[in-house]
Structure 1
Amino acid sequence: MEERSAAEADAERAPGADPAADPVASGRDAPVIVTRALTKRYRGGQLAVDGLDLTVPAGSVFGFLGPNGSGKTTTIRMLMGLIEPTSGTARVLGRPMPRAARAVLPHVGALIEGPAPYGFLSGRDNLLRYDAADPTADPRTRRARVAEALDRVGLTAAAGKKAKAYSLGMKQRLGLAAALLRPRALLVLDEPTNGLDPQGMREIRSLVRELADDGTTVFLSSHLLDEIEQVCTHAAVMARGRLITQGAVADLAARARGRLVVTTPDPGEAARVLKEQGVADVVVAENRVTGEPPDRDMAEVNAALVRAGVRVRGFGVERASLEDAFVELTGEGFDVAG
C-alpha cells in the first residue's frame, strides 16, 4: 500500500489550512487525473470498470466517452471518492483518492448522475444551502457568488422559483451552478447536457469552453459523440468497462481512414469501378458514391473512373470524424447527437 506522507495527512485533517498542502500547487503542469489498473467489481461478479489506465492533462477539456452502461459514472464515482475501487489506484490533483478526499474535493466542482435539489426551496436557496454546507466557503461572499453562478447558467430569472417546478433541463443547470459556486481547478460533469434543448446544449458547451479558457480542467462524460467532438480537446473511449483508446480528439479522428466520396451523375457505373479498384463498403446515395479508400494512389482510382466513362463531378477523401474512429475501433454503433 502507498505510504502516506506527513503533509498529506495534515492536508486531510485540515484542508486548505496549509498552502503548501494545496493539491493544486503540487504541480500545475502535472496530469490532473491519473488512474492505473483501476477496477470496480460489484457483488455478484459484475465487472463495471476493468483495469482502467487514464491520464487527463491539465488545462484540457477531456471527454469521457462511451455508451450508457460502459462504466463512465462508476469511474467518476471512484475518482470523487464516493465508492472504493476493488483494486488499482486513482490520483486527482496529485493526491490519492479516496484517501485524500478532504484535501482534494474543495478544489473540484462536480455534477454527477444528475442534480437532486430540495424541491421545497427555490433555486437560489438551494445554492445558498449547498454553499453553507461547505466549511471552506466564505460566507461573506456567499450571496454574490450564488447570484453569479445562477447568471452563468441562465437561471437568474427563475432563481426565486421552487425547484420542484423546474424542468429537467433547469435542474441540470442548477446542478451545474452548484459546481460553479467557487473557482475550481477541476470540474467534473457527468452528462451535463442531459435534458437540455438544443439551445441549452449550445450554452453549456460555450460555458465549458469559457471555463477552460480561464484555466479550469473540465472532465466531461457523455454518450454523445457530437458533443465530445465539438467541445473537447482530449478524449477517452470506454466500452463494456474497458478503455478502448485515449488522446487528443484530432488524433483520435485521424486514426480512422475517412471515406472516399465520388460525386457523379453515373453512380451505378462509378460503384462498379470503385469495387474493381479495391474500394470496400461502397454505398450509393443518388449522385454520391462513398466507400473505404483502398491502399493505393487515389489518382489511379480517379483515372480508372474517367477511363470507364464515369462523369466525375467531385472526388476526394472526407476527413474522418470521431464517430468514424469509434466505429472503426469498436465495431459498434453509437449515439451521435442529442
Structure 2
Amino acid sequence: MPQPPAPEPDGARPPDDGPAPSPPDDGPPPRPAGEPAIETRGLTKAYRGGRLAVDGLDLAVPRGSIFGFLGPNGCGKTTTIRMLMGLIEASAGSARVLGQPMPAAGRRVLPKVGALIEGPALYGFLSGRDNLRRFDAADPYADPRTRAERVGRALERVGLASAAGKKARAYSLGMKQRLGLAAALLQPRELLVLDEPTNGLDPQGMREIRALIRALAADGTTVFLSSHLLDEIEQVCTHAAVMARGRLITQGTVAALSATVLGSRGHGRLTVTTPDTADAVRILKEHGLTGLEAADDRVTGELPDATAAMGAPGGGAPPDLAELNAALVHAGVRVRGFGTERASLEDVFVQLTGEGFDVAG
C-alpha cells in the first residue's frame, strides 16, 4: 500500500487556494461501458525458484458489479490486487483496468480508482480530519478550494464525523478501517478496490459499510473486494470469483455459483419444519425425495431431478413445491416451515476445491 504523503512542519496546512491541475487527456479514448472494469488474460506472477503465486489468471469484473474475490490464505488474491494496481509487475500475461493496460496506463487509471489494500497508512499524531486533508493535498487533481467539503463528506459517509477531531492513534482498528475507506472516497471513483474492508468492525459497523458499498454500486461504481468472511461476501456481492493455489477455479454471479452446486445435488434441498417428522419423512419419500434427514423438528431432503422423479407420483417431472406442501398437510403433517435451501458460498467453495476456507491471502 502506498505510504501517506510526507508530513508538513507542525502547524502547517495544505494550501487552500489556487486551481487544481487538469488530469492528463492523452491516451486512447474511453472504452465502451460494456467492457469489464477489470480484465486479466493469463496473468501470472512467479517468484524466485519458480514458485507461482498467481498462475494464468483470466478474470472479468463487470462494470457496476460488487465483485467478491475469494480464496484461502496464500492463494494469490493480494498478489493479484497488487498487480492490478501497478504495485508489482506481472511475470506474464496482461491486465486491463477501466479499459486501459496496467501498469502502463497507471497515471490515467489510478486517479479514477480508490483503494484500501492491507490496511490504511495513517499519521497517528494527526486527527482523522487532518489525515484526510493530507491525503487530499497529495492528489494533484484535487481542487484545494473544495477540500474541506470533500473531507467532511467522506467522514460523514463512513460514520466518523463525530470522531474527526480525535488523533488517529486513538482510533480502534475498525475506526482506522473506516478512515482508510474515507480516503478512498475523497474523489468520485469509477472503481473501488477493497482488501478486507470490514476488518475490525463491530456488527453495526459491518452493516453500515455493506450499505455504503451497495449505495456506491447503485451510483455506478464498481466495487472489487476480497474478504475471508464468506457470509459477508454473500450478503453484499453480485458476482464472485474463487481462487485456490494461485489459479482461478470459477467466477460468475453469486446466484449462478450457488445454483451450480445445487444442480450437482439435483434440484436443491427442501427443508420442512414440523413436529411430525416421521410422517413428513414418509410423505417426502413417497414423492421421490432422497437423502432424508430428521433432527428435532426439522426434516431435510434432496429434491429429485426429472429422471429420478419418473418413479414418483405424477412421474416425469420434479414435484411441484406447492403440491408437495399440500400433500404434507393432507396427510395431517403440521407444517410450520417449508422452503428450499440455496447453496452458500461456503458450499460452493468446498464443492469446487475440496477444502475448507481460511483467511484471505
Residue aligning to 1:112: 117
Q: Name the CA distance, whole Å, in 2 between partners of 1:222 and 1:30.
A: 25
**SS of equivalent to 1:53:** strand
Q: Name the CA distance, whole Å, in 2 between partners of 1:201 and 1:22.
A: 39
- Alignment of 1:288 with 2:301, yes or no, is no
Residue aligning to 1:195: 200
Q: Name the CA distance, whole Å, in 2 between partners of 1:26 and 1:214.
A: 19
1:144 to 149, 161, 172: 149
Q: Name structure 1 gaps, 5 residues minimum.
A: 1-13
Residue aligning to 1:7: none
1:232 to 216, 230, 237: 237
| Identity between Structure 1 and Structure 2 (%) | 73
How do 1:87-166 residues align onto structure 2 when only pairs under 5 Å count?
87-166=92-171
Residue aligning to 1:216: 221
**SS of equivalent to 1:256:** helix
Residue aligning to 2:188: 183
Q: Name the CA distance, whole Å, in 2 between partners of 1:328 and 1:57.
A: 24
Amino acid at match of 1:121: L
Q: Name the CA distance, whole Å, in 2 between partners of 1:165 and 1:221.
A: 27
Q: Name the CA distance, whole Å, in 2 between partners of 1:266 and 1:331.
A: 36
TM-score normalized by the length of structure 1: 0.84
TM-score normalized by the length of structure 2: 0.79
- How many residue pairs get aligned? The number is 317
Residue aligning to 2:48: 43
- Alignment of 1:74 with 2:86, yes or no, is no
**SS of equivalent to 2:270:** strand
Q: Deviations over 1:189-226 (max 9, x none)?
A: 11100110000000001001111111111111112221
Please identify, of 99-108 and 238-247, the stretch whose mean Cα deviation from structure 2 is larger.
238-247
RMSD over equivalenced CA pairs, Å = 2.9
Q: Name the CA distance, whole Å, in 2 between partners of 1:66 and 1:160.
A: 38
Q: Name the CA distance, whole Å, in 1 between partners of 2:153 and 2:294.
A: 53
Structure 1 residue 136: Cα displacement: 1.8
- Alignment of 1:17 with 2:39, yes or no, is no
Q: Name the CA distance, whole Å, in 1 between partners of 2:79 and 2:281.
A: 46
Q: Name the CA distance, whole Å, in 1 between partners of 2:167 and 2:339.
A: 55
Q: Check whether the contact 2:73–2:358 (CA below 8 A) recurs between aligned residues.
A: no
Q: Name structure 2 gaps, 5 residues minimum.
A: 1-20, 263-267, 314-318
Amino acid at match of 1:259: R
Structure 1 residue 57: Cα displacement: 0.9
- Alignment of 1:174 with 2:179, yes or no, is yes
